[in-house]
Amino acid sequence: MAKKVRIALDAMGGDFGPSVVIPGAATSLIRHPDSEFLLFGDAAQIEHELAAHPALKAVSRVVHTDVVISMKEKPSQALRRGRKNSSMWLAIDAVKKGEADVAVSAGNTGALMAMARFNLRTLPGIDRPAIAAVWPTARGDSVVLDLGATIGGDAHHLVTLAVMGSAMARVLFDIERPTVGLLNIGVEEVKGGEEVREAADLLRRTDMPQLEFIGFVEGDGIGRGDADVIVSEGFSGNIALKAAEGTARQMAEFLRSAMSRTWRTKLGYLFARHAFKALRDKLDPNKSNGGVLLGLNGIVVKSHGGTNAEGFAYAVDVGYEMVRYDLLTKINQMLNSDDSALALMPAAQEAVS
C-alpha cells in the first residue's frame, strides 16, 4: 500500500479562509483518497466547515492558532509578527519538521515566500526561489516561471530558473530534454535588457543536457506553446499571468453576452453547448490554479487568494502530484549532478566575460 500524502493547509489563507479551503480539500480528497490533512487556523471556524465534510474530517487533524497573516501585510512585517504561531508559518513548519509532505496556502504571496524561504531554506546552488505553474497552451501544457516570487534578477538567476523549470517539465511531462524559451519583447538577439541577453548567451554556450534552449519567446508565444518552459523574472511573469487570466474572463463574458443576445443565438448555443462548455473549462483560471515554489528545501504550493473551492482543490491536487512525482528529489539531483547546468555555467560565464 502506498504511503499517505500528508498535506498541511493554511486554513485561514486567501480572501475566504476556511469556507473555501475546507470544501476545496474535501474535493481533492475525493480525487486522491490516499491523502491526509493538517489544518492550521481558527479551530472553531475549521470545525464548523468540517461538519459538512465527514470524510475529510476523518483524515484531518486541526491545530488551533489565533494569528492570521492578512493579504495586505508586507513580507517583513508578516515574518516578524506571524513567525512561529501564524497559520501560514505552522503549515510551512510542518513540512520542515517532516510532519507533512507539502504545504498549501492561498495567503499573502510575499509573506508565504518570505516564511518559506526563512524556514525551509533554498536548495544548494539556488539563490532565490520562484513560483512555477502549469500553463495551458494551444499545443498542450507548459511550465512558466517566475510568476511573482521575486522581482528582477541577473543572468545567473534566469539560468537557474531555466534549469528548475526544465526539471519540473521533465518530471510532469515525461520529456527527456524540454525546450526552454526566455520571455522577451522580441525574438531578435539584440532585443531586451542586458540580463536577458546575457542569460540567453549563457544558455547557448553551456548547451545543457537537461534542456534545449530555443531563444527568445514573445508574450503571445506563451499561449501558442512555443516552448515547454517559459522563463521570466517575477515582475514580467506576474503581469503575463494576470493579463492572461483577465483575457480569459473577458472572452468568457463576451461569449456569454453574444450567445444570449437574440433567440437565434440562444438556439445556436443549445446546439453547441457542449463545445462552449469545453471552451469555458479550458479558459477557467481556477482549473490551472496552484503555483509551486521551486528552489526550496521542501514543497510549498501557492493558490490564488480569490479562488473558489474548486480552484483551491486544484491547488491541493498540484501539491499532491508534486509529492507523488518526488519532484523535490529529482530537481535536487538535476541541479547538483556533475553535468548539471550549475556545474557547467561557470565556464560559460568566463567565456562570456
How confident is the model over 11-30, as pLDDT tens digits?
Answer: 999 999 999 999 999 999 99
Residues 77-89 pLDDT 10s: 887 776 678 999 9
Are the C-beta atoms of 146 and 113 separated by less than 8 Å?
A: no
Residue whose C-alpha cell reads 506563451 in the numeric block = 222
Pairwise CA distance, residues 36 & 305, whole Å: 23
Cell of 101: 509532505
Pairing mode, strands 291-294 and 130-137: antiparallel
pLDDT at 282: 57
Please state which of the ranges 146-150, 175-179, 344-348 shows the lowest mean pLDDT.
Answer: 344-348
Query: For residue 51, which phi and psi values (nearest 5 degrees)?
Result: -60, -30
Residues 284-315 pLDDT 10s: 666 678 899 998 999 999 998 989 999 999 99
Residues 179-188 pLDDT 10s: 999 999 888 8
Among residues 96, 4, 37, 92, the alpha carbon closest in space to that of 323 is found at 4
Residue whose C-alpha cell reads 480525487 in the numeric block = 31
Higher confidence at residue 75 or residue 213?
Answer: 213
Pairwise CA distance, residues 231 & 162, whole Å: 6
Residues 124-142 pLDDT 10s: 878 888 999 888 888 888 9
CATH topology of domain 1-120: Isopropylmalate Dehydrogenase (3.40.718)
Pairwise CA distance, residues 101 & 99, whole Å: 7
Dihedral in degrees, nearest 10, Cα atoms 200, 206, 210, 216? 10
Please state which of the ranges 222-231, 289-298, 344-353 shows the lowest mean pLDDT.
Answer: 344-353
Predicted TM-score (pTM) of the model is: 0.84
Pairwise CA distance, residues 122 & 136, whole Å: 28
Matching fold, domains 1-120 and 127-288+326-353: yes
- Domain boundaries of the chain, sorted by first residue: 1-120, 127-288+326-353
Section 151-179 average pLDDT: 87
Is 98 in a helix, a strand, or coil? coil
Higher confidence at residue 353 or residue 302?
Answer: 302
CATH (residue range 127-288+326-353): 3.40.718.10
pLDDT > 60? residue 163: yes
Q: Report the chain's mean pLDDT, rounded to a whole number.
A: 85
pLDDT at 22: 98
Pairwise CA distance, residues 132 & 145, whole Å: 4
The conformation of residue 288, written as its DSSP 8-state character, comes to: G
pLDDT at 339: 53
Pairwise CA distance, residues 290 & 131, whole Å: 9
